[in-house]
Chains A and B, each alone.
Chain A
Amino acid sequence: MEYFVQQLVNGLTLGSIYGLIAIGYTMVYGIIGMVNFAHGDIFMLGGFAALIVYLVLVGLFGGVPIALALFVMIIVAMLMTGLWNWVIEKMAYRPLRGSFRLAPLITAIGMSIALSNFIQVTQGPRNKPIPPLVSSVYNVFGISISLKQIIIVVVTAVLLTIFWYIVNHTPLGRAQRATEQDRKMAALLGIDVDKTISITFVMGAALAAVAGTMYLMYYGVIVFTDGFTPGVKAFTAAVLGGIGSLPGAVLGGLMIGLIESLWSAYFTIDYKDVATFSILAIVLIFKPSGILGRPEVEKV
């Protein structure tokens, strides 16, 4: 039983990271109907930004209180990836809006290849380990919960609350939802559609940056290829939860995290990704629009 709960905690932590990345996929998909394949690499970029900020902080001030360091890392990484995604959207995706559906997908795949190789070229191909930032572990009823895990879950919960509030209760969120429903009509009603889409990309990137920072803190190592697997899993999470739906993305992320850690705990760790992808296939076969997705109604 304790073992089970322990795995549940681990899965929840992992799932939070996936959920944060998945939101970026789902929002961009919701608003312009495009699978932003480069999002996983934006996440990796965020991790690298956090890593470099950490090294700068250590280099400039020697020892820095960890809480402060983490805060600065998150903020800088968010700004950094936000700027990156803003530029990427403007240069690579916007010219193709209104083009056929596969065009932006191909550009996004190209962007993903370019981004990971850019980091490989500029930062080197080796693993980048950092000393553990947070190492305390608490023992609650025989279950060991590390401070890292608490930080990840709490930060995710706080961000999601802020995010949920923005989307549901602010003029910006209203503009986003309107643009999602009908871009032309939204434009006619005076919503700056381009700006709204840009902001959506920036928001998605900022959340991915947080996920990147958390990933770096949790595993203590990052490498330029790290964008792909978490990216694909987060996309899987978004689809599993029903792409376009925000709660769906989080739910999907948590589910993927749980499946992964429970499978590794009780079966073989080698096939954990196979299990994840198989469950995705099975869910989609029986519920093609995802768990919380609205079924698509085709009008003829």
Chain B
Amino acid sequence: MANITNTPESAGSNLMARALREAFYAGLVALGLFVLFVGLKTDQNILNELVLVQRWGLLAVFVAIAAVGRFLSVAFIRPYLAERKASKASAGVKEPGFVTRNFSMIAVAVLLVYPPIMVAIFGFQGSLKWVDNFGIQILIYVMLAWGLNIVVGLAGLLDLGYVAFYAVGAYSYALLSSYFGLSFWVLLPMAGIFAALWGMILGFPVLRLKGDYLAIVTLAFGEIIRLVLINWTAVTKGTFGISGIAKASVFGIWSFDVSASNNFAKVFGLPMSSAYYKIFLFYLILALCLLTAFVTIRLRRMPIGRAWEALREDEIACRSLGINTVTTKLTAFATGAMFGGFAGSFFAVRQGFVSPESFVFLESAIILAIVVLGGMGSLIGIAVAATLMIGGTELLREMEFLKHIFGPDFTPELYRMLIFGLAMIIVMVWKPRGFVGSREPTAFLRERKNVSGSFTKEGHG
């Protein structure tokens, strides 16, 4: 689209004419795009043959939405955005407020009181959904994304198979606890060590690879792990998965098994409820997340963290300064993988069931998307991105009221991943640098200056 400069008088009518024209084209294109896939539906009849069902009304709706959307976008939204951009540029930079400055402290405080508040509002049974589906689910992804952030955000190594380490962690816990009866607190560090070991096993052969080659090999590695889990049925029970995984206990003092004598509720004389276990898990994953964040923040100040960031910015310069890129890359892989392993064993404890279904490429993609959407390297940005993306899609499960609008056949869950994919595209196009586009420099001379995200290069290593 060419930028045509108009005189102010003719601009209005010109704009409308252009908007109408573009709306027409958009409708035409939408007709072409959707005529086969929306206008016709393939259905099986009683003889199990495919037949076509015609849905021209729905097609008309799609075309109309495209045309109207394009019209509004060209006629109103774009001029408005251009105007706002111009006014924003002249307004200057605002001093960050109290909330912005202390965001992480406030967030941790809110998370600490989150379960009691939920219990107070919804009661023990009602709070389950909020603590488990939202709290724990989001925190698992926060932890995974922070773990991957070490590999992608700090060391700049593009890893598309991160879910493999998650799987290694989950299966180490599931297998070792069901075959040897070891407890969660013994297996949590072991799962981390196993995952770190696998991180090194993967890292070693791919040391020479760069960028997209690295991406494809890590993707392949993730798929190999998943396929082995599916096919090695003697140990992993294949696609059936491992069920009945033992629950975690509070350091072995109180257990959450209903039959155990040291059951948490029995010891304190509380009414039986599964909510205690969920709340315990919530604090457990919160602690693991904070551990990840703490380690990441500390490591960034240590020589190895500096070496990672140097590696991300320029591998050749890094090597010529005498940094051993082999150990630097391997430690990045191993550290990232270790946190993936922790998250994996937590996942196994929380679900009580693991199967290869949970470790598909889509999971890796979601985690990577969270890291990139969060602004690569910014812990808070990543947490915000995880909350928005995972919490947002979880919310779609709750949209019962939509059934009243679209009729009882409407299932919002079906649209969950479609909306997730579209959201990924829209957020990326809207904010290519992620939610937190700037980050504080790790090393600085005399005073801190904010580094704009667009100055920091992503690695090719």
Min CB distance B159 to A, Å, is 11
Whole-angstrom distance between the alpha carbons of A95 and B428 in the complex?
A: 10
Interface string of A220-244 (1 = CB under 8 A from B): 0000000010001001100100010
The answer to whether B216 and A288 have CB atoms under 8 Å apart is: no
Give the bracket for the number of chain B residues in contact with chain A: 35 or more
The answer to whether A106 and B205 have CB atoms under 8 Å apart is: no
- Given the interface pairs A111-B421, A121-B415, the reply to whether A52 lies near B42 with Cβ below 8 Å is yes
B219 at the interface (CB under 8 A from A): yes
The answer to whether B361 and A288 have CB atoms under 8 Å apart is: no
The answer to whether B316 and A298 have CB atoms under 8 Å apart is: yes
Max count, chain A CB within 10 A of own CB: residue among B211, B369, B376, B460: B369
Whole-angstrom distance between the alpha carbons of A121 and B34 in the complex?
A: 13
The answer to whether B231 and A270 have CB atoms under 8 Å apart is: yes
The answer to whether B368 and A109 have CB atoms under 8 Å apart is: yes
Main secondary structure of the interface of A (DSSP, over half): helix
The answer to whether B213 and A277 have CB atoms under 8 Å apart is: no
Task: Name the residue on B nearest A59 (C-beta).
Answer: B52
A14 at the interface (CB under 8 A from B): no
- Given the interface pairs A110-B422, A277-B220, the reply to whether A48 lies near B37 with Cβ below 8 Å is yes
Max count, chain A CB within 10 A of own CB: residue among B36, B211, B424, B432: B36
The answer to whether A117 and B421 have CB atoms under 8 Å apart is: yes
The answer to whether B458 and A110 have CB atoms under 8 Å apart is: no
The answer to whether A281 and B212 have CB atoms under 8 Å apart is: no
Min CB distance B340 to A, Å, is 19
B21 at the interface (CB under 8 A from A): no
A87 at the interface (CB under 8 A from B): yes
Whole-angstrom distance between the alpha carbons of A29 and B211 in the complex?
A: 12
Whole-angstrom distance between the alpha carbons of A45 and B236 in the complex?
A: 35
**Contact residues in B for A52 (Cβ distance below 8 Å):** 36-37, 40, 42, 52
**Contact residues in A for B209 (Cβ distance below 8 Å):** 284-285, 288
What total count of A-B pairs have CB within 8 Å?
184
B175 at the interface (CB under 8 A from A): no
Main secondary structure of the interface of B (DSSP, over half): helix
Q: Among A49, A120, A235, which residue has its beta carbon within 8 angstroms of that of B216?
A: A235
The answer to whether A123 and B224 have CB atoms under 8 Å apart is: no
Interface string of B95-127 (1 = CB under 8 A from A): 000000000000000000000000000000000
- Given the interface pairs A87-B33, A122-B41, the reply to whether A92 lies near B212 with Cβ below 8 Å is no
**Contact residues in B for A298 (Cβ distance below 8 Å):** 316
A112 at the interface (CB under 8 A from B): yes
The answer to whether B44 and A126 have CB atoms under 8 Å apart is: yes
The answer to whether A35 and B215 have CB atoms under 8 Å apart is: yes
Whole-angstrom distance between the alpha carbons of A10 and B130 in the complex?
A: 53
Q: Among A29, A56, A115, A232, which residue has its beta carbon within 8 angstroms of that of B52?
A: A56
The interface-forming segment of A96-104, A132-140, A180-188 is A96-104
Whole-angstrom distance between the alpha carbons of A192 and B81 in the complex?
A: 28
A53 at the interface (CB under 8 A from B): yes
Whole-angstrom distance between the alpha carbons of A56 and B369 in the complex?
A: 39
The answer to whether A92 and B38 have CB atoms under 8 Å apart is: no
B311 at the interface (CB under 8 A from A): no
B362 at the interface (CB under 8 A from A): yes
Whole-angstrom distance between the alpha carbons of A44 and B88 in the complex?
A: 44
A271 at the interface (CB under 8 A from B): yes
Q: Among A83, A121, A236, which residue has its beta carbon within 8 angstroms of that of B414?
A: A121
**Contact residues in B for A296 (Cβ distance below 8 Å):** 210
Interface string of A37-57 (1 = CB under 8 A from B): 000000001001101110110
**Contact residues in A for B365 (Cβ distance below 8 Å):** 109, 112-113
The answer to whether B32 and A83 have CB atoms under 8 Å apart is: yes
**Contact residues in A for B425 (Cβ distance below 8 Å):** 92, 107, 110-111, 114
Interface string of A127-146 (1 = CB under 8 A from B): 01111000000000000000
Min CB distance B460 to A, Å, is 8
Residues of A165-187 contacting chain B, CB below 8 A: none
The answer to whether B219 and A118 have CB atoms under 8 Å apart is: no
Min CB distance A128 to B, Å, is 6
13 CB < 8 A contacts A-B: A56-B40, A106-B368, A107-B425, A107-B429, A112-B365, A113-B424, A114-B418, A117-B417, A122-B38, A128-B50, A277-B223, A277-B224, A289-B213
Interface residues of B (CB under 8 A from A): 29, 32-33, 36-38, 40-44, 48-52, 152, 158, 205-206, 208-213, 215-217, 219-221, 223-224, 227-228, 230-231, 316-317, 361-362, 365, 368-369, 372-373, 376, 414-415, 417-418, 420-425, 428-429, 432-433, 454, 457-458, 460
- A-B interface, 6 closest residue pairs, ranked by CB to CB distance from nearest: A110-B424, A114-B421, A113-B421, A277-B220, A117-B418, A270-B231
